[in-house]
């Protein structure tokens, strides 16, 4: 390539080898294709001239070019033009032969070698397209409107309804601006109607999503009334849906029918859906005859499950038994367009076939088929349970008819489920014998049905506390279907009832392995762990159950109970507060919460929850006692009287509460009422020592004459009490000695203990048990606290001895 490139020497010294490569420039034609000047001349008018006059002499001015051996022979082209690389008038000609290799011409000699053009710097940026034209502005505005509509739809799908509505409104404003600009420069035919329709429809949809029904109806009216929208009439269905939500059923039916008139018969499914809506609206208004007409038309054109079930409901509402039977048969004959045979069972050992079956067994199409079957079974079961008591003279006969009808259809397996539901209905009617007979019929059926029936039988016997029968049927259920979580749970329950919590926990665990969402097994497992004092594991079970059933009152109560066992009252209070948000009227929970606050020292909160518990259940003795003691502690004895009087009504044979009422009268300064109350108590319980002591004290202070009489009775009562206590003590010592001696005759030992108890008992004429007096002495104590000054009488002067506690009163109080 470089053989024809001749560089100028830097000095004029002669070369020893010059002249060897000299040749006539007339034959220098190899580089004509790369000679820019020659090609330019050939393309222009200079190449078409007949005579050439601009011939440059070859010896007057050309710069000698050296060859590869340093020759200085000047070279010129055939037309006398300077050769590539020569300098003409101070400007060097380009060396076009090496241009493809990246070499370019230099403006002056001595310029640096830069084949990549890095010295020129970065390329200038691309020129931006000017958007000054009105048409371009409108295109950009239209693009922005589309983006706003898209953003509105995305926000709606993400649940941000407010943002979706704002975007829809902004799209509407931008679209109106676009219309105004387009009308100024273009005829009305050029308006983008599809964009206008899209913006209005999206805006109406967002109004509906935000429950702004009036604005949505207005927007739909704009679309429907515009004749330029060819498919606007179909939106009357949406308007009917809005009126249906507003419970304006007459207008909903009107718009549904208007939409039905504008939809052609080619849109078959759309027309059927609108007729279903019309039928539902008629049901809402109670016009069952009109609803029947709509659903019957649907069943004649294209039967489906929903229309068939609604038709049964309408016939049930008007009480037409024969038509109910006909509609039920039509319902079970609705085609589901699925295979009723199990096509996923492998008939051979071909590995490829088995893998293929496993792959398609749970694909989306198989899931759709299962959902359709499940929905159909749900409709049929619900319809059978609904019409069974109404189509025949009795419930049992009607259910038998439904079972026979199902057996003659594709849903043969549903017949057994209907029989089990029949037994369940017997249970709801509390007809246990019929339920047992119905369930026992399944003992010889296939394993799945047998397991379900045995599970229900085990549950029935468990409720009846017949643990032996419950255990037998639980074993039968487990043996029939080891993977039935209900059967395993019932088996665990029978073992739990027999006291073997460890083994019961194993059955609960197995049930959970078969069905991790079996809440009954998880709850019972937590109870078993709690019984075994494995508190951490029990807590874990109930926390898992709380995640599944967040509003279960039983679970919340168990969590509070466990934290109370763990001595964490704050956590227990938190769970109980959640519990009363679920069951705000449970008096036991409220009293438990009050007890926890009382333990923590928060009397005000304890008083609040005890009052709430008393309001819902005013017969809880513990709550009544706490409230009465609270009012006594706060020096409001008059208010405590109300609670102790109620306790006395609930437990009239216990003298404790009547003594508390009298004590409240005495502490509040109403001695006359206190005296009257003590007298009433004495008449009911004449041997009560506490009552007699208070009577002696009050009569002495008030100077009454009957004080001597009460003193005499008090002495007799104290002596009887002492004798009774000695008898009880001797009887206990004798029974203890007999136990130590270890007599072989166990009957004699029991007889001695019984005789000792009988000796200690009072006569049958006494109004209360012998243990009552002892219980009162041990538990009852007159509440201490400041008392009002007692009145002084003229009978005797007050002494310091009169200030003794009431329990210490005795013969020292006798007058002088």
Instruction: State the 10-residue block means of pLDDT for the chain, 816 residues long.
Output: 46 53 61 71 57 44 43 45 52 55 51 63 61 76 91 92 92 88 72 87 93 92 86 88 93 92 87 93 93 93 92 92 91 79 66 76 80 88 89 84 86 80 79 78 69 82 86 86 89 92 93 91 94 93 93 93 92 93 92 92 92 92 91 88 89 88 87 86 84 84 81 84 82 66 45 36 31 31 34 34 32 27
| Helix (H/G/I), strand (E/B), else coil: 94 | coil
> Which domains, and CATH codes, for the chain?
318-334+358-441 (no CATH), 443-549 (1.25.40.10), 650-726 (1.25.40.10)
**Do 672 and 785 touch, CB atoms closer than 8 A?**
no
The Cα–Cα gap between 340 and 412 comes to: 10
What's the pLDDT score for residue 294?
A: 93
pLDDT at residue 458, as a whole number: 85
Q: What pLDDT score does 355 carry?
A: 78
Residue closest to 559 by CA, chosen among 545, 539, 585: 539
Cα-Cα end-to-end distance for the chain: 156
Cα–Cα distance, 427 to 432 (Å, whole number): 6
Q: What are the DSSP calls for 431-482, one per residue?
A: -HHHHHHHHHGGGGS-HHHHHHHHHHHHHHHHHTT-HHHHHHHHHHHHHH-T
How many angstroms separate the CA atoms of 313 and 320, rounded?
10
**Which DSSP state fits 602?**
-
CA 117 and chain centroid, separation:
68
Task: Answer yes or no: are the C-beta atoms of 84 and 94 closer than 8 Å.
Answer: yes
Which CA distances in Å does 577 have to 583, 603, 613?
10, 17, 14
Radius of gyration of the chain (CA): 53
C-alpha distances in Å from residue 94, one per residue of 39, 72, 84, 503: 13, 20, 6, 103
Q: Model's pTM, two decimal places?
A: 0.54
| Pairing between β-strand 91-92 and β-strand 87-88 as defined by DSSP bridges | antiparallel
* Closest-CA residue to 509 (of 495, 317, 397): 495
Residues 600 and 612: beta-carbon distance below 8 Å: no
The DSSP-derived string for 648-692 is HHH-TT-HHHHHHHHHHHHHTT-HHHHHHHHHHHHHH-TT-HHHH
By the 10 Å C-beta count (0-12 exposed, 13-18 middle, 19+ buried), 714 is classed as buried
Closest C-alpha among 743, 745, 681 to residue 717: 681
Taken in order 726, 728, 729, 735, is the CA torsion positive or negative? positive
């Amino acid at each position: 390539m470089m053989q024809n490139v001749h560089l100028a020497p830097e000095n004029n010294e002669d070369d020893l080898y010059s002249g060897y490569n000299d040749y006539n420039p007339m034959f220098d034609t190899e580089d004509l294709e790369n000679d820019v000047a020659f090609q330019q001349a050939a393309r222009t008018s200079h190449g078409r001239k007949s005579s050439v006059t601009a011939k440059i002499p070859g010896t007057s001015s050309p710069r000698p070019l050296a060859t590869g051996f340093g020759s200085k022979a000047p070279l010129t082209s055939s037309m006398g033009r300077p050769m590539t690389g020569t300098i003409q008038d101070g400007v060097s000609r380009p060396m076009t032969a090496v241009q493809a290799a990246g070499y370019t011409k230099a403006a002056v000699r001595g310029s640096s070698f830069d084949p990549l053009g890095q010295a020129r710097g970065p390329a200038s940026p691309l020129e931006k397209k000017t958007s000054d034209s009105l048409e371009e502005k409108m295109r950009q505005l239209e693009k922005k409107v589309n983006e706003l509509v898209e953003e509105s739809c995305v926000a709606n799908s993400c649940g941000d309804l407010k943002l979706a509505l704002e975007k829809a409104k902004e799209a509407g404003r931008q679209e109106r601006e676009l219309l105004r600009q387009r009308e100024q420069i273009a005829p009305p035919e050029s308006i983008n109607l599809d964009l206008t329709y899209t913006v209005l429809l999206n805006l109406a949809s967002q109004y509906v999503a935000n429950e702004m029904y009036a604005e949505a109806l207005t927007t739909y009216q704009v679309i429907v009334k515009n004749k330029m929208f060819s498919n606007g009439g179909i939106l009357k269905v949406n308007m009917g849906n809005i009126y249906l939500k507003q419970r304006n059923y007459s207008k909903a039916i009107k718009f549904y029918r208007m939409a039905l008139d504008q939809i052609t018969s080619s849109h078959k499914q759309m027309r059927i859906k609108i007729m279903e809506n019309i039928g539902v609206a008629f049901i809402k208004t109670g016009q069952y005859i009109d609803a029947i007409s709509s659903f019957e038309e649907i069943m004649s054109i294209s039967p489906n499950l929903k229309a068939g079930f609604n038709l049964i409901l309408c016939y049930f509402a008007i009480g037409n038994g024969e038509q109910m039977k006909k509609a039920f048969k039509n319902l079970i004959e609705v085609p589901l367009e699925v295979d009723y045979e199990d096509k996923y069972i492998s008939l051979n050992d071909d590995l490829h076939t088995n893998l293929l079956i496993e792959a398609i067994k749970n694909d989306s199409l198989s899931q759709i088929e299962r959902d359709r079957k499940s929905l159909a079974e749900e409709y049929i079961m619900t319809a059978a349970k609904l019409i069974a008591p109404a189509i025949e003279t009795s419930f049992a006969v009607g259910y038998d008819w439904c079972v026979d009808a199902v057996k003659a259809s594709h849903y043969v397996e549903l017949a057994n489920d209907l029989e089990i539901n029949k037994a369940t209905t017997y249970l709801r009617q509390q007809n246990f014998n019929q339920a047992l007979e119905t369930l026992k019929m399944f003992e010889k059926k296939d394993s799945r049905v047998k397991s379900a029936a045995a599970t229900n039988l085990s549950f029935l016997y468990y409720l009846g506390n017949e643990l032996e029968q419950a255990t037998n049927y639980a074993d039968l259920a487990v043996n029939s279907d080891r993977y039935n979580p209900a059967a395993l749970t019932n088996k665990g329950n029978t073992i739990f009832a027999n006291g073997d919590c460890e083994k019961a926990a194993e059955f609960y665990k197995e049930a959970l392995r078969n069905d991790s969402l079996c809440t009954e097994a998880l709850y019972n497992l937590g109870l078993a762990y709690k019984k075994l004092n494995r508190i951490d594991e029990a807590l874990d079970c109930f926390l898992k159950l709380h995640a599944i059933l967040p509003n279960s009152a039983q679970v919340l109560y168990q969590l509070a109970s466990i934290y109370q066992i763990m001595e964490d009252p704050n956590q227990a209070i938190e769970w109980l507060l959640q519990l009363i948000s679920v069951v705000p009227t449970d008096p036991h929970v409220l009293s438990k919460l009050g007890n926890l606050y009382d333990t923590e020292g928060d009397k005000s909160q304890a008083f609040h929850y005890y009052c709430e518990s008393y309001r819902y259940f005013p017969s809880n003795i513990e709550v009544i006692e706490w409230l009465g003691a609270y009012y006594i502690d706060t020096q409001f004895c008059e208010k405590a009287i109300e609670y102790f009087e109620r306790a006395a009504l609930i437990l009239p044979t216990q003298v404790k509460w009547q003594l508390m009422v009298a004590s409240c009268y005495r502490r509040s300064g109403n001695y006359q009422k206190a005296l009257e109350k003590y007298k009433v108590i004495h008449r009911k319980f004449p041997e009560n020592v506490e009552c007699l002591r208070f009577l002696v004290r009050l009569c002495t202070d008030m100077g009454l004459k009957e004080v001597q009489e009460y003193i005499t009775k008090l002495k007799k009562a104290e002596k009887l009490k002492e004798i009774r206590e000695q008898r009880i003590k001797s009887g206990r010592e004798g029974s203890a000695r007999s136990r130590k001696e270890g007599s072989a005759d166990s009957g004699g030992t029991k007889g001695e203990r019984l005789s000792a108890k009988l000796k200690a008992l009072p006569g049958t004429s006494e109004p209360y048990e012998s243990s009552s007096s002892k219980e009162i002495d041990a538990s009852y104590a007159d509440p201490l606290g400041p008392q009002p000054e007692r009145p002084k009488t003229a009978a005797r002067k007050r002494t310091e001895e009169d200030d003794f506690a009431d329990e210490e009163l005795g013969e020292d109080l006798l007058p002088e």
